[in-house]
Amino acid sequence: MKFSQETTLPDTKNLSDKGLRTKPEALQFAALAYLFDRGEPTYLIITSRRTGRWIFPKGQPDKGENGWETAAREAFEEAGVIGTGLPKEIGRYRSLKFRSDWVQPLDIVLYPVRIDRLMPEWQENQERQRRMVTAAEAAALLSQSDMAMLCTLFDRQLMAEHR
């Protein structure tokens, strides 16, 4: 099942008044990494490196890489997930990436990644925290309501499939 939604971003035109230039929009792929704990799905969230906000692992594809492959790779690099990216888009959300002198709109496609195991040490473990949480806990912690909504919808789908 595919969940789609349209989200809007704040107007970036007035950011140039604040000394920020706007970069062209970028496409990124994110991982909604999950596993079943005592029959209930739990989801992986991580902190962003710069602000510490709770997010999903995400990033840009390497050459020739599919979206779900990018999602699985990012989950591995950013959170130590050994798992399988699934080629069914959950949905999309939008975000803004800020730096000191620029802002970039992001169109982010969310894919499920089934977790086989979590490594105790991983590439970015000194830079990020990770947590396994229920969909309700994710909804309370995630930095954007669009991410929370997609997690909640996917959770309902998983629960229906595993009854």
Distance CA(138)–CA(130), nearest Å, equals 12
Four-CA torsion 62, 12, 89, 38, nearest 10 degrees: 100
Residue type, position 74, single letter: E
Domain 28-91+111-161 bears CATH identifier 3.90.79.10: yes
Please name the residue ranges forming H helices in the chain: 67-79, 135-141, 145-161
Contact 42, 113 (CB under 8 A): no
Q: Give pLDDT tens digits along the chain (163 positions).
A: 344 444 445 555 555 556 678 888 889 999 999 999 888 999 999 999 888 999 999 999 999 999 999 999 999 999 999 999 999 999 999 988 887 788 888 999 999 999 999 999 999 999 999 999 999 999 999 989 999 999 999 999 999 988 7
Q: How many CA atoms lie within 13 A of 97 on its CB side?
A: 17
Q: Which of 107, 94, 118, 106 is nearest to 33 (CA)?
A: 118
Give the count of beta carbons closer than 10 Å to the beta carbon of residue 19. 9
Q: Which of 105, 101, 98 is nearest to 20 (CA)?
A: 101
